[in-house]
A and B are shown apart, each in its own frame.
Chain A
Amino acid sequence: MNQTIGLSAAGLLFLLLAWGGIAGVTAYCFYRLLKTRDRTR
């Protein structure tokens, strides 16, 4: 791991994939929750 030049292109790619993936799935889950009826009440 290159630890002196900062965030490398590969590091940025991993970061964006991880953040994008998690944020995307989380947003999708909340979107689906909003679209379905809350039967817990």
Chain B
Amino acid sequence: MSRPRSDPLALPREAWASRLGLILAMAGNAIGLGNFLRFPVQAARNGGGAFLIPYFVALLLLGIPLMWVEWAIGRHGGSRHGHGSTPGMFQALGRSRAIKYLGVLGLFNPLVVLVYYTYIESWTLAYAVFSATGRYSGLTTREEMGRFLTSFQGWSESLHFPNGIETAYVFMLLTLGLNVLIIYRGLVGGIERLAKIAMPLLFVFATVLALRVLTLGVPDPSHPERSVSAGFGYLWNPDFSKLSDSTAWLAAAGQIFFTLSLGMGTIHCYASYLKRNDDLALTGLTTSMTNEFAEVILGGSIAIPIAVAFFGIPETRAIAAAGTYDLGFQSMPIIFQRLPLGHLFGALWFGLLFFAGITSSVAMAQPLVAFLQEEFGFARRRAVLVVSAGVFVLIQPVVFLRPVLGEMDFWCGTIGLALFALIESILFAWVFGIDRGWEEITRGADLRIPRVFRHVIRFVTPLYLLFLFGFWTKQDALPLLRMEGVAAADRPTIMMTRLLLLALLGLFLLLIGHAWRRRTARGTT
């Protein structure tokens, strides 16, 4: 719904058509590739069943409280002040005129993550097509599938993709186009409708795949140790010795943080389309639990158990150590080829990842669209076109320069998210104040939140985030900043990426300042 340029607050904002639509859209935002690839790898690496202890502790003390905080900041900023992006929402929490600038990460993080996430999402679409059409049929080793992937990405030459990166580029354009089309159609006609179609399909695909895995038994009788039971044992048999190591606790906190899409600005934006007295306690908890269902029950029943059933534990351990891309794009296609109707199951697997991806990527675009609409008076479609053009320009280095994706992922998809979450948790509990904050969370609630969460939100969650941010900075950010272990050939590209990110951050700060000067001039602050 567009507004006249003269007064962005003159007309009512868009609103969700139904609570089910909101829940599915929020769950779609949270459920991403990490639910099906990152979680099982983290659990297998960090103590199996015992990993679930720090995982649930982090869910209770970090994930759910911060999720409620983000919903509350969003509903407060949207329903009372007409802001769908975090600069305006943060400004509504306190008096200092500088607060709005702290919300810059709620624009910067989703834009940068959207850029490289769209590219990864396009791989899942491409692989769904490759699976259905048998494009990688006959490639039966991880090395062969690895070469298939790198030649698809244009990093190596092979007979599979004689035109180099052309195929990947076409799928990137297709994926970007689909995202643009959905966002262009608006909150209800685009995002909510997508969620109502894609989320049920995602759950159907995941359930079919999980049932197929559960009924595999021992695929190769000559290797009785390679079984689904061994796979579940690898993932669930508890190793309590890992709990004395801080690594498992940090990995669990990180997983909860990423899986719920916290620190991104997307939850705030979706919640901003609620009305002032709409429930957020029960609705928010439902979306988080839907995400957990997809992650622990479905995500934990597909990739790792099937990998153990076909490769055995030693090789699955090597696959897990190599990371989520190896598991998702190299190992799973090999496994599906060994199954009857493997083309179909491969297409279901990558279709599942694509639906998980696209429901997240449209959520990342929405805060930027809302910022242009509400702070600059853009019509929705014009705002969508500007954001899309920005993503199209920024995705070029991601596609053509190999180190860019990893660099963006670390600074914006890891450190940036933790910093943003730390800032918002302090702002909410200590600047806005826990009394007003608690009233905001519990107003209109269809679920009585235990009062202990008031203290958790005030003390425990900010400390948890401070610890997480400090640890990641010390362990990862400082060595990366010094480019330790980075090949000399990659250093110029990495420096260019950092300069690009800094320039982007500066541009957003300038835009925020400009938007508020316009507001001041109009007297609509």
A interface residues (Cβ-Cβ under 8 A, vs B): 1-8, 10-15, 17-19, 21-23, 25-26, 29-30, 32-33, 36, 38-41
Contact of A39 among B49, B238, B279, B293 (CB under 8 A): B279
- B297:A11 contact, CB within 8 angstroms: no
Within 8 A of A (CB), among B232-246: 232-234, 236-239
**Taking CB as reference atom, which chain A residue is nearest B225?**
A4
Separation in Å of the B236 CB from the closest CB of chain A? 4
Interchain Cβ contacts within 8 Å, total number: 115
Contact of B278 among A13, A18, A19, A39 (CB under 8 A): A39
- B275:A39 contact, CB within 8 angstroms: yes
B interface residues (Cβ-Cβ under 8 A, vs A): 15-23, 47-50, 52, 56, 225, 227, 229-230, 232-234, 236-239, 274-275, 277-279, 282-283, 285-286, 289-290, 292-293, 296-297, 313, 444, 446-447
Q: Is the interface of B mostly helix, strand, loop or mixed?
A: helix
Separation in Å of the A37 CB from the closest CB of chain B? 9
Tell me the complex Cα distance, A3–B237, Å. 8
Tell me the complex Cα distance, A27–B401, Å. 46
Between A and B, 28 residue pairs with Cβ closer than 8 Å are A1-B48, A1-B233, A3-B233, A5-B230, A6-B227, A6-B232, A7-B232, A10-B238, A11-B232, A11-B236, A13-B49, A14-B48, A18-B56, A18-B296, A22-B292, A26-B293, A29-B286, A32-B282, A32-B447, A33-B19, A33-B282, A36-B446, A39-B279, A40-B17, A40-B21, A40-B274, A40-B275, A41-B18
- A23:B293 contact, CB within 8 angstroms: yes
- A2:B286 contact, CB within 8 angstroms: no
Q: Is the interface of A mostly helix, strand, loop or mixed?
A: helix
- A11:B48 contact, CB within 8 angstroms: yes
- A12:B236 contact, CB within 8 angstroms: yes
Residues on B with beta carbons closer than 8 Å to the beta carbon of A8: 233, 237
- B297:A19 contact, CB within 8 angstroms: yes
- A6:B19 contact, CB within 8 angstroms: no
Residues on A with beta carbons closer than 8 Å to the beta carbon of B49: 10-11, 13-15, 18
Tell me the complex Cα distance, A30–B24, Å. 12
Residues on B with beta carbons closer than 8 Å to the beta carbon of A14: 48-50, 52, 236, 238
**Taking CB as reference atom, which chain B residue is nearest A22?**
B292
- A40:B278 contact, CB within 8 angstroms: yes
Q: What 7 A-B pairs are tightest by C-beta distance, nearest first?
A: A14-B49, A6-B229, A11-B237, A11-B236, A1-B239, A29-B286, A26-B289
